[in-house]
């Protein structure tokens, strides 16, 4: 029989495939979807019909519906069909407990073939091993797979929960421009040439930062937006050139007021969508404390290991590595891994040393705590007094492992932060099903860029200095704290924000520290400075990373898994082959010439 493509012909779907249950037996249904599997059992043809809700088995019996059975004989995988029939219980002992619809089937009375399909480049199933390159090339097929559909549906539910909560909390959603001007946000802009104004360019927004501040000046008071942002930066698993953030801003607030709202958003998402408790209020930790204890400003609190300062113990050490570091003003710091000395092999200990060296350290000392003696390449340099003091202060017990590093900061933070998580994973201390939230606050306002020879903003130029530090802004800039905060989950920063500068004089002082002179400030930010002249209220907010949040909820390893049409790590869309060259006529119209590298 030939495969004739048919039309809907007035048929309407009455039920989604994955929703039929035993209590629906006897219901006449019209189903539409894709052929997920086809089986011919002695003349009776079975197909598994799939739509976004799931699968259901449809049975075509020649003695019950000869014409439908004949059409079913030509079906192939991924044909698009519609079926009319009746839901009925499956015969005893044929139920499929792995399917939600496994207790029922549909007797196929009528069948129409809406479209055929060529052989697919990969199987539509979660158990198929498919390269990411192939998946991205045929993303529309990849999205048919149940796991990918669940992730897209999860993303939708997260967005719906956010909108529902913020709308109920008095926020209104306002769209800000996609075509704006280039401003320094810490990464390169994507530029868009203007045909109407030759020689000029728009920039795609890295964030709606300035517009949401202007909305506060406008009296909007509580704004939010689920918004696309663009940054031309080096990519990794949790970055894309275009990404989505949950952006919000409030007038007349301090950090605790922002925290309360954001924690409500997180609870609506993680508890309401994912069934994950959010312990409100979230714990708060200063930036300095996070760096000292965990070596990072986004600590994974699932890992109980902490960095300890061992400098007082080694003030009179015979080990030159330690005393030389201390004489140069550095610190000797270490991590205790309870039971690690009895678990990790010598090869694994050597791998820790290699990990530290790869991160830039000149050396790492490891010590196995034994019943009678300590085992370590540096054991001979430890005095009895040092061993006693270390054992007392660190609570060392036989079988424990101690790793020690003597390097300048921030290198020692970076290395020990990596080692802490490395040891945590090796010792099984990091649970995948645990969620630990944290606010990190009191970031430095500025840091020194050694290459540029000037100060740069740690967050962005519009972050307010701490009130207590405002008086020393020019005298001791690196000691000034910011009214900035990040919300961290399991070692990932899922949001960052601050109380903003709302006074023109303070904003101009910060610009001067950033080497942005009056003329440049007026050229780039004149509209903002002018707005501050007309009654700008105190305001602050945050941007939460929607992609990262959905990635963590889905248990995925990359945000590419929760974005419908992502780019590769080279910022390429394998599906559309973007970016591409354009017709020279388009470039001439824009007044643009391309040059070789």
Task: Decide the pairing of beta strands 365-369 and 307-309.
Answer: unpaired
Report the distance separating Cα 233 and Cα 144, nearest Å: 31
Q: What is the mean pLDDT of each run of 10 residues along the chain (597 residues)?
A: 80 96 97 96 94 96 95 96 97 94 97 96 91 96 96 98 98 97 77 92 94 98 97 78 97 98 98 96 98 97 96 90 91 95 93 92 92 89 92 95 94 95 95 95 94 90 96 94 98 97 96 93 94 97 97 94 94 94 91 79
Residue carrying the six token digits 């498919």:
130
Query: pTM of this prediction?
Result: 0.92
17-115 is classed CATH 2.40.50.140? yes
Radius of gyration of the chain (CA): 31
Q: What is the DSSP letter of 184?
A: -
Report the distance separating Cα 50 and Cα 46, nearest Å: 13
Tokens at 12, concatenated: 């309407």
The helices-and-strands tally (H runs, E runs) of the chain is 16, 22
Name beta bridge partners: 242: 230
Task: Decide the pairing of beta strands 401-407 and 331-337.
Answer: antiparallel
Q: How far is CA 106 from the centre of its chain?
A: 41
Backbone dihedral region for residue 405 (phi beyond 0: left; psi -120 to 50: alpha; all else: beta): beta
Q: What is the pLDDT of residue 186?
A: 63
Q: What is the DSSP letter of 138?
A: T
What sign has the CA pseudo-torsion 569, 571, 576, 581? negative
Report the distance separating Cα 79 and Cα 33, nearest Å: 8
Q: From the CB of residue 108, how many other CB atoms can be counted at a distance below 10 Å?
A: 27
- On the question of a common fold for 17-115 and 303-430, the answer reads no
Q: What is the DSSP letter of 322?
A: H
Tokens at 571, concatenated: 């910022």
Reported in sequence order, the residue ranges of 500-546 that DSSP labels E, i.e. its strands, are 539-545
Calculate the alpha carbon distances from 537 to 210, 499, 534 in Å.
14, 11, 9
Report the distance separating Cα 199 and Cα 416, nearest Å: 50
Q: What are phi and psi of 187, to 5 degrees?
A: -140, 170
Specify the CATH class of 132-278+539-592 in words.
alpha beta
Q: From the CB of residue 451, how many other CB atoms can be counted at a distance below 10 Å?
A: 6
Q: Is 44 helix (H, G, I), strand (E, B) or coil?
A: strand
Q: What is the pLDDT of residue 569?
A: 87
Name beta bridge partners: 487: 439, 495
Q: Is the peptide bond before 165 cis (omega within 30 degrees of 0)?
A: no
Q: What is the pLDDT of residue 182?
A: 85
At CA 447, angle to CA 559 and CA 496, rounded to 5? 35
Q: What are phi and psi of 422, to 5 degrees?
A: -60, -50
Helices 287-294 and 411-426 meet at what angle, rounded to 10? 60
Alpha helices in 403-503 (DSSP H): 411-426
Q: Is 144 helix (H, G, I), strand (E, B) or coil?
A: coil
Q: What is the pLDDT of residue 238?
A: 66
Q: State the virtual CA torsion across 47, 50, 56, 57 in degrees, nearest 10.
A: 0
Helices 255-270 and 146-168 meet at what angle, rounded to 10? 140
Reported in sequence order, the residue ranges of 161-305 that DSSP labels E, i.e. its strands, are 172-173, 191-193, 201-203, 222-230, 242-251, 284-286
Q: In the chain, where are the structural domains located?
A: 17-115, 132-278+539-592, 303-430
Q: Does an H or E element contain 48, and which?
A: strand 44-51
Q: Is 382 helix (H, G, I), strand (E, B) or coil?
A: coil
CATH number for the segment(s) 303-430: 3.30.1360.30
């Amino acid at each position: 029989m030939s495969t004739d493509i048919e039309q809907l012909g007035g048929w309407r779907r009455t039920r989604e495939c994955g929703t039929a249950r035993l209590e629906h037996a006897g219901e006449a249904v019209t189903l539409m979807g894709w052929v997920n599997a086809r089986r011919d059992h002695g003349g009776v043809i079975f197909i598994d019909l799939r739509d976004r809700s799931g699968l259901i088995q449809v049975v075509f019996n020649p003695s019950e519906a000869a014409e439908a059975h004949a059409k079913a004989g030509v079906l192939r995988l991924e044909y698009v069909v519609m079926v009319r029939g009746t839901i009925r219980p499956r015969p005893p002992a044929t139920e499929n407990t792995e399917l939600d619809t496994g207790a029922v089937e549909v007797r196929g009375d009528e069948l129409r073939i809406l479209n055929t399909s060529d052989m697919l480049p990969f199987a539509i199933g979660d158990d198929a091993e498919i390269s990411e390159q192939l998946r991205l090339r045929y993303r529309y097929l990849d999205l048919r797979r149940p796991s990918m559909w669940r992730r897209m549906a999860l993303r939708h539910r997260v967005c719906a929960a956010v909108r529902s909560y913020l709308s109920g909390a008095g926020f209104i959603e306002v769209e800000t421009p996609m075509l704006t001007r280039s401003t320094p946000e810490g990464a390169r802009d994507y530029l868009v040439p203007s045909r109407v104004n030759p020689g000029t360019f728009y920039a795609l927004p890295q964030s709606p930062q300035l517009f949401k501040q202007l909305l506060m000046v406008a009296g909007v008071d509580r704004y939010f937006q689920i918004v696309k942002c663009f940054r031309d930066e080096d990519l990794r698993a949790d970055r894309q050139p275009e990404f989505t953030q949950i952006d919000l801003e409030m007038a007349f607030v301090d950090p605790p007021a922002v925290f309360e709202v954001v924690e409500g958003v997180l609870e609506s998402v993680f508890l309401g969508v994912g069934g994950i408790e959010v312990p409100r209020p979230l714990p708060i930790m200063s930036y300095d404390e996070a760096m000292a204890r965990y070596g990072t400003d986004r600590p994974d609190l699932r890992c109980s290991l902490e960095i300890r300062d061992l400098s007082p113990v080694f003030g009179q050490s015979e080990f030159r590595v330690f005393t030389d570091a201390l004489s140069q003003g550095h610190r000797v710091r270490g991590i205790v891994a309870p039971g690690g000395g009895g678990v990790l092999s010598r090869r694994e200990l050597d791998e820790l040393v290699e990990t530290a060296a790869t991160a830039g350290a000149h050396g790492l000392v490891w010590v196995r705590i034994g019943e009678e003696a300590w085992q370590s390449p540096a054991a001979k340099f430890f005095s009895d007094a040092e061993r006693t003091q270390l054992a007392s202060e660190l609570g060392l017990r036989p079988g424990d492992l101690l790793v020690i590093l003597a390097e300048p900061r921030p290198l020692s933070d970076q290395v020990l932060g990596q080692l802490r998580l490395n040891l945590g994973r090796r010792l099984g201390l990091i649970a995948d099903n645990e969620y630990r939230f944290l606010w990190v606050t009191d970031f430095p306002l500025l840091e020194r860029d050694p290459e540029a020879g000037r100060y740069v903003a740690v967050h962005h130029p519009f972050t307010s200095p701490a009130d207590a530090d405002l008086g020393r802004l020019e005298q001791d800039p690196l000691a000034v704290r910011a009214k900035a905060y990040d919300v961290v989950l399991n070692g990932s920063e899922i949001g960052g924000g601050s109380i903003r500068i709302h006074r023109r004089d303070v904003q101009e002082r910060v610009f001067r520290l950033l080497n942005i002179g009056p003329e440049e400030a007026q050229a780039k930010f004149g509209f903002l400075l002018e707005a501050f002249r007309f009654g700008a209220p105190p305001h602050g907010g945050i941007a939460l990373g929607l992609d990262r949040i959905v990635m963590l909820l889905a248990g995925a390893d990359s945000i590419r898994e929760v974005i419908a049409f992502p780019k590769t790590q080279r910022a390429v869309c394998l599906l559309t082959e973007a970016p591409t060259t354009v017709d020279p006529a388009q470039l001439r119209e824009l007044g643009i010439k391309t040059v070789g590298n």
